[in-house]
Structure 1
Amino acid sequence: MITKNIYTLMLMFFFLVSTACKKEQSQQTDPRTFSLLTQKIIANSDVMANVFSDTTFQLQPGIEETDIHYLSQSGGLSTRIFILKLDLKNPDVKLQAATPYDAPGSASQTVPDMAKYIDAANNRVLAGINGDFFNTSSYVPLGIVYKKGVAVKSAFTDNTDKPQQGLSFLGILANGKPYIGDKDTDYPAIKNQLKEALGAGVFLVRDHKKVTQTIPTVDPRTGVGITDDDVVYFIVVDGRSFYHSNGINYQEMGKIMYAFGVKDAVNLDGGGSSTFMIKHPRADIWQVRNQPADGAPRALANSWLIVSKTKP
């Protein structure tokens, strides 16, 4: 009798597990259950093995956040990713380079604190993302810094000791269009047209093609990509926490950007610097949505802030 009961319980257990697995598989392949961005990643990359949760909401027209918790195909690790989609064709969505205390010198501040110095009645900060790599002693960024058409730092710092950094930049041109370029060819040709700009690292996508990466390490990451029709994607991936999120490598980040159809994408500062902040639509507070690897937002050399000129 005992043996029969155990056998029955085992059958019931395997039935429940099988049913749960089939349900999970059904959810993953059913496009009605996930946001458009999650559908694009599943359809156009081999990054996700399973999706645990998927949330998307609008901060205001032209600004959309999507949060995804998934199991990675490489290593089968828990991964949490935060995506900010900006439509710069919307005249009320502006991308602004920010520095500590809104000053031109080298200093450090967290992304929420930088937001306090430029937030005003006609310049409401709705979101913020960490920016360029920087010297952790002097807080001098490796790349260029342009604010409101002024070159605060007009040259790239030598990156011999950190070859994956100080290679590229994200800029907003005088005509309002986003632009990603390299430091050697693109920057000299376009610098007179830059209104806002901060440096960046390795290319993830270049001219609609995925870039092969040589650094395989998995870490917290921040990246940015732009499309031909002026849509900007910022991605922040949490890492260094086995049960929460392990992180991502350059190759996987490039695959996600490519799945979104970007023309160009580059890696920004990551690790403990990765910060994803929004002005929460249900509360008048700036909320850091991700879980920074240091346990709290890190003080940085610069950041990208998304602002509205009309939001009260």
Structure 2
Amino acid sequence: MHPAPPSTPALRRPRSTRFRLAIAAGVVTCMTAVGGVAWALDRFVIEHVEVVSASSAEEAVAAAESAGSAAFTVTVETVGTGSDAATVTTAIIELDDVTQLRSAFADDAYGENITELPSVIAEQVGASLAINGDYYGFRDTGIVIRNGVLYRDEGVREALVLYRDGTAAVVDETTTTGAQLLADGAWQTLSFGPVLVEDGAVVDGIDAVEVDTNFGNHSIQGDQPRTAVAVLADGSIAFVVVDGRSDVSAGMTLTELAAHLQALGAVTAYNLDGGGSSTMVVDGEVVTAPSNGGERATSDILYVS
């Protein structure tokens, strides 16, 4: 039997080489982290303006629309009892023409991550009544038609369409296009959800719905502050804001909100951005209790003058 060859000692890199490798690894880690931060800032913070003056883009369309009047009444009530009680603010709007229901962008600019307080946007457009919209600027998907102008055509979810003839419908964005909706008479589209009431019935399973897979924007279950818009059986429009996350108001589940809207007479009702965004402004004053202790900046509002 031959003796085993002597073992070869493991090669060791000089200390300086190992030190340089450690520094390189740290640099790569830092660059990766910095790259991640840069991506997050670009995606969720840095403004990306695509249309500088949205009102100018809409002017030709708006000029051709009705100049009728809008009247509304606002009520505040407590729904539920005990720890489940919620403060609900409802505005019932009577419109001569649905084109009096308008949308406005923060800073009058269309794009991503452009935000302003709802009361400030409302003041800028002379709104007498406003609620937060669908926060379109948080995401880069969804069909965005506002005041009869198509801004984005990236269908991914169920949207609410308000048509010029006063009707409303829920559409699967993936089976149509913004251009087709415009051709069909779309005046506003709202792309958030879920649909709460359809054909007068509460939609099943809505408490299990996730709106988006975007970071920080998909968990909407449980008792939460809510904002919703509904078309009622008599043709009027309802804006509803539910306060939540406080000792005074617990908020509502989506099913509870849907049932409340159905009781108002909703034929079609749709959930908008909620949580800290949920806000109603009347004559320049915030009449609800945003859960952040004050208004949260958002990208858009729905309003009447």
Scaled by the length of structure 2, the TM-score of the pair is: 0.65
Residue 146 of structure 1 corresponds to 145
Residue 173 of structure 2 corresponds to 184
Deviation at 1:143? 3.2
* Alpha carbons of structure 1 residues 196 and 67: separation in structure 2 relative to 1, 3 Å: same
Residue 174 of structure 1 corresponds to 164
Residue 186 of structure 2 corresponds to 194
* Alpha carbons of structure 1 residues 142 and 104: separation in structure 2 relative to 1, 3 Å: same
SS in 2 for 1:291: coil
For 1:61 and 1:269, how far apart are their aligned partners in 2?
24
For 1:185 and 1:208, how far apart are their aligned partners in 2?
24
Residue 227 of structure 2 corresponds to 222
Scaled by the length of structure 1, the TM-score of the pair is: 0.64
Match of 2:100 among 82, 87, 94: 94
Residue 299 of structure 1 corresponds to 297
Q: CA RMSD in A?
A: 2.5
Deviation at 1:228? 3.9
Aligned length: 220
Matches within 5 A, 1:195-214: 195-212=187-204, 213-214=206-207
Residue 18 of structure 1 corresponds to none
Deviation at 1:103? 1.8
The structure richer in helix per residue is 2
Residue 272 of structure 1 corresponds to 276
Residue 63 of structure 1 corresponds to 72
1:205–1:258 Cα contact (<8 Å) kept: yes
How many percent of aligned residue pairs carry the same amino acid?
Answer: 26
Matches within 5 A, 1:235-254: 235-242=240-247, 244-254=248-258
Residue 124 of structure 2 corresponds to 117
For 1:183 and 1:272, how far apart are their aligned partners in 2?
27
SS in 1 for 2:111: coil
Bigger Rg, structure 1 or 2: 2
For 1:108 and 1:187, how far apart are their aligned partners in 2?
29
Summarize deviations over 1:68-105 as a string: whole Å, max 9, x none. 02434xx74231000011122x3598210111112223
For 1:187 and 1:140, how far apart are their aligned partners in 2?
19
Summarize deviations over 1:180-228 as a string: whole Å, max 9, x none. 3123378546332122333231111111111123335111011111124
2:99–2:147 Cα contact (<8 Å) kept: no
* Alpha carbons of structure 1 residues 65 and 200: separation in structure 2 relative to 1, 3 Å: same
Amino acid across the alignment from 1:114: I
Amino acid across the alignment from 2:287: R
2:133–2:273 Cα contact (<8 Å) kept: yes
Gaps of 5+ in 1: 1-59, 120-124, 159-165, 280-285, 308-312
SS in 2 for 1:128: strand
For 2:238 and 2:259, how far apart are their aligned partners in 1?
13
Amino acid across the alignment from 2:225: P
Matches within 5 A, 1:16-27: none
